[in-house]
Amino acid sequence: MAQTNINIKIDKDLKESFDKLCNDIGMSMTTAFVIYAKTAVREQRIPFEVRAQNIKDLDPHFDLALKIAEDDIKYDRTYELEEAFKKIKENNAKKK
């Protein structure tokens, strides 16, 4: 079977971590990518679940922002966006 090369751009730290993982389990990164590609072709799908990251993981202040928004809706209060962010930061500072 003829071989070909693929060039992939990847974050340097991620590449180093992936290379270490592959070495730890006794394979090269090339072998890992070939396994991935063969599995994807055989199964006709990405061989793992792909989903959006949970918003709570992205913003540690999400719960507070949600509570403030719910209270504002409940009491018919509205704010300019800048003012709303300021209130979130103030409330978070009080909790520390």
pLDDT digits (tens, 9 = 90+) for 21-46: 999 999 999 999 999 999 999 999 99
Q: What pLDDT, on a 0 to 100 scale, did the predictor assign at position 71?
A: 83
pLDDT of the residue at 55: 63
* pLDDT confidence of residue 42: 94
For residue 20, CA distances in Å to 6, 17, 25, 81 come to 20, 5, 9, 44
The residues of the chain scoring below 70 in pLDDT are 52-58, 79, 95-96
**Tell me, what's the pLDDT at 96?**
64
pLDDT of residue 27: 93
CB crowding 1-34: b at 16 or more within 10 Å, else e: eeeeeeeeeeeeeeeeeeeeebeeeeeeeeeeee
pLDDT of residue 41: 94
